[in-house]
């Protein structure tokens, strides 16, 4: 009987590992899709103002 219990435990453990792996892959895919959606919504590079140094104060300002 003990070998049967060990075999069932190993089979159950493999099922849990498979489920956890599939869940991790699914979650990472959803996060990547959300990250790509944020990048697509960002302003084009030409619309982002560059910073220039103010010669008087030395501070960087848009311009």
Domain ranges of the chain: 2-62
- Quick: pLDDT tens for 51-61: 899 999 989 98
At residue 27, the pLDDT reads: 98
At residue 17, the pLDDT reads: 98
- Quick: pLDDT tens for 33-49: 998 888 767 666 667 77
pTM over 0.95: no
At residue 49, the pLDDT reads: 79
**CA dihedral of residues 34, 37, 39, 42 (deg, nearest 10):** -130
Mean pLDDT of the chain: 88
Whole-number Å distance between alpha carbons of 22 and 20: 6
């Amino acid at each position: 009987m003990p070998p049967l219990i060990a075999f069932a435990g190993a089979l159950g453990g493999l099922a849990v590992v498979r489920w956890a792996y599939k869940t991790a892959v699914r979650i990472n895919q959803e996060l990547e899709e959300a990250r790509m959606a944020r990048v697509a919504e960002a302003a084009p590079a030409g619309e982002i103002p560059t910073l220039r140094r103010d010669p008087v104060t030395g501070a960087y300002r848009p311009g």
